[in-house]
Amino acid sequence: MYPYAKRIFDFMSSVTILILLSPLLLLVALCIKLDSKGPVFFRQERIGIHKKPFIIYKFRTMYVETPKNVPTAMLLSPEKHITRVGKWIRKTSIDELPQLFNILKGQMSIVGPRPVIAAEAKLIQARTKLGAYSILPGVTGLAQINGRDLIGVQKKAQLDGEYAKKRSFLFDLKVLMSTIAYVLKMNDIAEGIMELPDHTEKLPEIRKKILMLGNSEIVIYNFRLELVERLLADGHEVIISSPHGEKIEKLVKMGCVHDSVEIDRRGTNPVSEIRLLVHYYKLIKKVQPDIVFSYTIKPNIYGALAARKMGVPYVTNVTGLGSAIENKGLLQRFMIQLYRISLSKVQTVFFQNEKNRELFSNHKIAVNKHIVLPGSGVNLKKFNLLKYPSTKKTVNFVFISRIMKEKGIDEFLEAAKKIKEKYPQARFHIAGFFEEEYEKVIEDYAKRKIIQYHGMLSDVRELLSKTHCTILPSYHEGMSNVLLESAASGRPILASNVHGCIETFDEENSGYGFEPQNTKSLVAAIERFLALSHREKENMGLAGRKKMEKEFDRQVVVNNYLQELNKVIEKVLEVR
């Protein structure tokens, strides 16, 4: 009975308050427009009753350039994002008044658990267990009068669950009266604090700030997404430093903070290299992360040097060494010395294959701090087993990679030309972006119908569903992600006999190897595959899937990173 009475009370109260406070609301709206550019109202997706999302309304208190779907606590310097008017209306909680319109729409109540964004996964999970999502969210709640911004996730969830069980007219009245008192005193408002450990929570759940460095946002989104999701779910702050790209918006929407930096991945201009090192140094000094996770060559070296200088723990992932260190000579000696200096105080160095680890070990780089991972692992749920297409009319081969010499694009194109002349049923596909001057070459091969170019794909699963075999003639790899994803999808592998490729398939069981930089050897491998029956090709793909399930589950990689973060947390506990 009370829910119906509560709804009537909410509706009538909201109408009355809107009428009485209309002069104040108009004045605030005018001040916001005069103070800074942008709309008067701020709209954001929040999680409502039964965990259904809805759009909440508030007076805008931040500049329009501020990331929209990031909790205030996850911003690098929250106070810099808040407008002059915003500081005042946040302190007085006037910014919450437009939520009266949410109440009129039946999306909220005056009293109830405060609605949060999807990025606050830890609080959502805790609330769900305690039944807090069985009722409408509120403008104010039990947590808001018992510490507000100064209590931890578990305590908030406990209070919200308690309200869901005890709600009544008298209980709501008590919360309302206490809220008015809190607003007048401006109690327990702390910008930049989303979760503080309290005595009801375990100390290991201390919120930490993780800085992730990469030469592309794809390095993080495509291959470390599960790690980012877990870190955010555990209440940690994640800052990603990379060049801007199409995946950044998705990462920010999840709750990450992005730092944009220019990186010339293959350039050797000393001015650009020094500029990158200085950028990382200033970033670490400003952000003051608890730990740095770096990926790819330049972020690994310069990020490590900056973290070492600032005394911040850092973990490096050697995703590949590149030709500069693979080939002997003066440049190799210089790179080895650079690695030796930058990683002298590293917490852990992750490797994606044993050969790369051996090189570091032989040159006494970060000795006794090496761990070999199964590459970046593969998300077995995302890359599930695909139905193997018919081979009656055509057999489709695909090359998915950056289009550059060291990925073996020359050998692939030449092999495609030779095979097409002899096997008209063979089809060759290419997907990826141009890292070197191959655009005209690919255009020419496409016009001659030797290959079909699909451009840069954000999701390769659709292309994999139409192809029968993945080819990668790479000269060197850390651990090929495209081969892991292809094998997980049930596609046989044809790859160079180099470390980073040979680990992804079992010879004659789930794929064939061939000599790198050798078109004749690649052609022979393709012919061997074409000679197989449809069932044999399909079984080869199934064998690859089983191998991925057994050896390359990405969760193994995530767990290793969590262990490194726990080392930092344990040091905090020792101090306490």
User: Is-contact 217 237, C-beta < 8 A?
Assistant: no
Distance CA 86, CA 530 (A): 67
- Euclidean distance between CA atoms 59 and 77, whole angstroms: 20
Q: For residues 240 and 238, give the distance between their C-alpha atoms in angstroms, rounded to a whole number.
A: 7
Would you say 488 and 510 are in contact if contact means Cβ atoms under 8 Å apart? no
Identify the sign of the CA torsion 561, 562, 564, 565: positive
Q: What percent of the chain has pLDDT over 70?
A: 90
pLDDT tens digit string along 347-388? 999 998 888 889 899 999 998 899 988 888 999 999 999 999
| pLDDT at residue 204 greater than cutoff 60 | no
| Mean pLDDT of all residues in 13-20 | 94
CA gyration radius for the chain?
28
CB atoms within 10 A of CB 101: 15
Percent of the residues in the chain that have a pLDDT greater than 90, as a whole number:
63
Tokens of 288: 């003051």
Q: How far, in Å, CA of 202 to CA of 215, rounded?
A: 36
Please give the residue that has the higher pLDDT: either 555 or 420. Answer: 420
Alpha-carbon distance of 543 to 535, in angstroms, equals: 12
Can you give the pLDDT at residue 555?
A: 85
Q: pLDDT tens-digit profile of 479-523? A: 999 999 999 999 999 999 999 999 999 999 999 999 999 999 999
Could you tell me which of 574, 576, 428 has the C-alpha nearest to residue 494? 428
Please give the structure tokens belonging to residue 252: 């920010």
b/e map of 111-145 (b: 16 or more CB within 10 Å)? bbbbbbbbbbbbbbebbeebebbebbbbbbbbbbb
Number of H helices, E strands in the chain: 23, 17
φ, ψ (nearest 5 deg) of residue 389: -70, 160
pLDDT at 192: 43
Give the chain's domains with CATH numbers: 2-185 (no CATH), 204-377+555-575 (3.40.50.2000), 395-552 (3.40.50.2000)
Nearest of 99, 235, 70 to residue 156 by alpha carbon: 235
**Side-chain half-sphere exposure of 116, counting CA atoms within 13 A:** 28
SS3 125: helix
CB 70 within 8 A of CB 119: yes
* Alpha carbon 522 to its chain's center: 36
| Between 182 and 532, the higher pLDDT residue | 532
So what's the pLDDT on residue 193? 40
Check residue 443 and give left, alpha or beta (phi > 0: left; psi -120 to 50: alpha): alpha
Mean pLDDT of the chain: 88
Name the helix (H) or strand (E) containing 494.
Answer: strand 493-496
Lowest mean pLDDT among 88-102, 130-144, 182-196, 450-464: 182-196
pLDDT over threshold 60, residue 75: no
The string of pLDDT tens digits covering residues 413-470 is: 999 999 999 999 999 999 998 987 899 999 999 999 999 999 999 889 999 999 999 9
Q: Write out the DSSP string of 275-319.
A: HHHHHHHHHHHHH--SEEEEESHHHHHHHHHHHHHHT--EEEEE-
Does pLDDT of 195 surpass 50? no
Q: How confident is the model at residue 93 (pLDDT cuts 50, 70, 90)?
A: confident
User: Which residues lie below 8 Å from residue 230, measured CB to CB, with a gap of 6+?
Assistant: 558, 562
DSSP symbols for 369-395: -EEE-STT-B-TTTSPPPPPPP-SS-E
- Taking only the tens place, the pLDDT of each residue in 58-70 is 999 998 877 665 5
- Tell the residue number behind the tokens 């375990």, with chain if given: 202
The confidence score (pLDDT) of residue 29 equals: 95
Contact in structure between 443 and 466 (CB atoms under 8 Å): no
Residue 476 clears pLDDT 50, i.e. is over it = yes
Helices (H), 130-187: 153-166, 169-185
SS (H, E, C) 407-465: HCHHHHHHHHHHHHHHCCCEEEEEECCECCCCHHHHHHHHHCCCCEECCCCCCCHHHHH
pLDDT over threshold 60, residue 298: yes
Q: How far is residue 209 from each of residues 14, 237, 309, 344, measured CA to CA in Å?
A: 40, 5, 18, 23
pLDDT band at 212 (very low <50, low <70, confident <90, very high): very high
Is residue 186 predicted with pLDDT exceeding 60? no
- pLDDT of 198: 39
Strand partners, 42: 58
Q: Which two tokens stand for residue 308?
A: 């070492």
Rounded Cα–Cα distance for residues 41 and 74 (Å): 21
CB 246 within 8 A of CB 328: no
Cα–Cα distance between 428 and 416 in angstroms, integer? 6
pLDDT of res. 202: 42
What is the spatial distance between Cα 209 and Cα 572, in angstroms, rounded to a whole number?
Answer: 13
Q: Which residue has the higher pLDDT, 48 or 153?
A: 48
The rounded distance, in Å, linking the Cα atoms of 80 and 150 is: 21
Question: What 3-state class would DSSP assign to 538?
Answer: helix
